[in-house]
Chain A
């Protein structure tokens, strides 16, 4: 798999930032992703959107092959690493994933899963907020 450093191709839009990393499109947004954007976020995996969410500023970066690429986009925009948590949306099962290697923090989260219930709840709630087109028709 390619290990080249991220390459920012373009930054545009009033609430969206588009980053092309190799062939991967990462989109960072403070608003829900639109139906038109979802296919771009599924370019890396056809049934999984990896996300990193700043749960304080309520910004989501999504669409990368690896979570740290999404986290780097958020950090570049001023997010604090301690507020960024990784997970994803499984578009086949409509499950929200709360596992990521970026979640491992020796100080307060020793697992790759988000362990603090309040943080987990925030992450899941924001995941539903950012992906209404995926979750609107479920359960």
Chain B
């Protein structure tokens, strides 16, 4: 167990270091003078002042020195100061983190609920075909457009939800649904496919032969099979929810990491971009760890210690034994 934790920690550190290094390299490879980009179009700033900024940001020092300095800062947990806002990066990200997490979490819950409902309640017949068609339409529509349609119908038309503002917590509903719909559609497709496959396997036949009803077959057996694949996909999609929120944030005028990242990239605000990259890497590492820990709960085959599984390939008779 300890060995496992050490392994996970080591791979996490490696992923974070890799992400940080790539971010650093990318910003040096793309062409153009960062200071000009930072100041934006039509800025009337003298060359002397621009040199001053370069000096202050340390852009004039040798790249290796900049890199070591940058890694040193990261090690101390110091992400630096935003070039644009002159605020610590932790603060820039911190003030946008809460709205993003709320939106992502709610979207994920809605997506999972919708996906489960679509696969379990519409197993056969016309309902199944309708659900599948709806999934296809949602998946092929741009998120941006889904958002505008939801706004036109539920906000401007029916007036059920306010569009913007921090006053009313109901403003989160439409953006969360917009974000959730495509994710729900994708998970539902994988889930349905998984259940179908599991139902065709011999063990399902055995379960039915033992007298289990359709509900027991689904909930105790086939859903578990399908759930393993859907879980991995959902974990992957959480990342895309975090990053892909930018369009939803723009349409619904919500603050959040997506818009911060977009502006930071456009303005070459390296410290902020690095901060976001490190955060994303960290989130992925955490999610993957959680998934690794959850998988054995769904799939009993993964519950055996490594040694036993390794031995099992040599001497197979003990397959399925529980401890």
Please determine whether chains A and B interact with each other in the same assembly.
no
Name A's B-contacting residues (CB within 8 A): none
